[in-house]
Amino acid sequence: MLEVKRLHTHYGRAEILSDVSFEVGAGEVAALLGRNGAGKSTTLKSIMRLVRPTSGEVVFDERPIGRLRPYEICRLGLGYVPEERRIFTSLTVGENLAVARRVNREGATVWTLERIFELFPNLAEMREKSARAMSGGEQQMLTVARTLMGSPRAILLDEPSEGLAPVIVEQMARTLKELKDEGVTILLSEQNLHFAGLVADRAIIIEKGRIRYQGKMQEALEDERIRAAYLMV
């Protein structure tokens, strides 16, 4: 579904990503794991072309997307949920969802407002409210819901559990599982191993901009050497 090939990304002269390659299969949930500053967010932004990679190629659904603009990538069915949430605070909750609405896509689950509200019941109650007035957890739910409004076939989630209370983290995990059941492919970046263990099938470990390990999520969690070398703080 999503293939990243030999991606290099620089910020100024500093190399942030070095030869990053991995694949995410259709319907799979893959977790990009690594410490702070390892290059997780940059990887997702490079795929989405919010950051321009120096070299390398990204193939989405058998189509190279390395020359496209972010909006064109989104329209192909690749959604993006940013780490900083970036909801539009001057808009209402309903408007936040409305601006992201796109329906004209084959082969993707079409997310109507009704279905979104089934998945996130408390968003329905806040529909007319200003997004500014939401709590952090509600904002995080809104960013996921907003991306779903584009009816994506795959989504990139940047640290969805960050800064959330444990109850909300559990809720987020349930939501992601439901998305998986709908057939949505998910690539999420995480530092929270517990959360990643709840939802991901596969682990991709990145450190200092290089991919160090790819394998089953469960195996990565059970392997003490891997945990100690790349994931422990």
Partner 1 sequence: MSFYFAQFLTGLASASSLFLVASGLSIIFGVTRIVNFAHGSFYMLGAFIAYSLVTALPHGPLGFWGGVIISALVVGVIGVVMEILVLRRIYQSPELFQLVATFGVVLLIKDVALWVWGPEDKLGPRAPGFDGAVDIFGSKVPEYDLVVIVLGLVVLAALWLLFNRTRWGALVRAATEDREMLGALGINQALLFTSVFFLGSVLAGLGGALQIPRASVSHHMDLAIIATAFVVVVVGGMGSIVGAFLASVIISELNAFGILVFPEITLVLMFLVMVVVLVIRPWGILGKPEGEAAGEVLEGETLSIMPGRRMRLALLGAFALLLVLPSVVEPFYLLLLSEVFVFALFAASLHFIMGNGGMVSFGHAAYFGLGAYGAAMLLIYGDTGMELAIALAPLAAGLGALIFGYFCVRLSGVYMAMLSLAFAQIVWSVAFQSTELTGGEDGLVGVWPSPWASDRIVYYYLTLVLCAGGILALWRMLYAPFGYTLRAGRDSPLRVEAIGVNLRQHRWFAFVIAGLFAGLAGGLYGFLHGIVEPQAVDIPRSIDALMMVLIGGVQTLIGPLAGAFAFVFLENRLLAFEFWRAIFGLIIIGICVAMPLGIVGSLHRLALRAAAARAS
Residues of the shown chain interacting with partner 1 in the complex, contacts defined by CB under 8 A: 12, 48, 50, 69-71, 74-75, 80, 82, 86, 88-91, 95-96, 98-102, 146-147, 150
Q: How far is the CB of 55 from partner 1 (least distance, A)?
A: 15
Q: Which residues contact 225 (CB under 8 A, 6 or more apart)?
A: none
What are residue 4's DSSP bridge partners? 22, 58
Nearer to partner 1, 150 or 169 (CB): 150
How far does Cα 122 stand from its chain's mean position? 22
Q: Which residues contact 102 (CB under 8 A, 6 or more apart)?
A: 74, 75, 149, 150, 151
Nearer to partner 1, 96 or 193 (CB): 96
Nearer to partner 1, 48 or 203 (CB): 48
User: What DSSP assignment string belongs to 148-209?
Assistant: HTT--SEEEEE-TTTT--HHHHHHHHHHHHHHHHTT-EEEEEES-HHHHHHH-SEEEEEETT
Nearer to partner 1, 48 or 169 (CB): 48
Q: How far is the CB of 98 from partner 1 (least distance, A)?
A: 6
Q: How far is the CB of 92 from partner 1 (least distance, A)?
A: 9
Q: How far is the CB of 223 from partner 1 (least distance, A)?
A: 35
Nearer to partner 1, 147 or 175 (CB): 147
Pairwise CA distance, residues 203 & 29, whole Å = 9
Q: How far is the CB of 115 from partner 1 (least distance, A)?
A: 18
DSSP 213: E
Q: How far is the CB of 111 from partner 1 (least distance, A)?
A: 13
Q: Which residues contact 94 (CB under 8 A, 6 or more apart)?
A: 113, 127, 128
Nearer to partner 1, 71 or 181 (CB): 71
Question: What's at 124, amino acid-wise?
Answer: A
Is the distance from CB of 20 to CB of 214 less than 8 angstroms?
no
Nearer to partner 1, 40 or 146 (CB): 146
Q: How far is the CB of 12 from partner 1 (least distance, A)?
A: 8
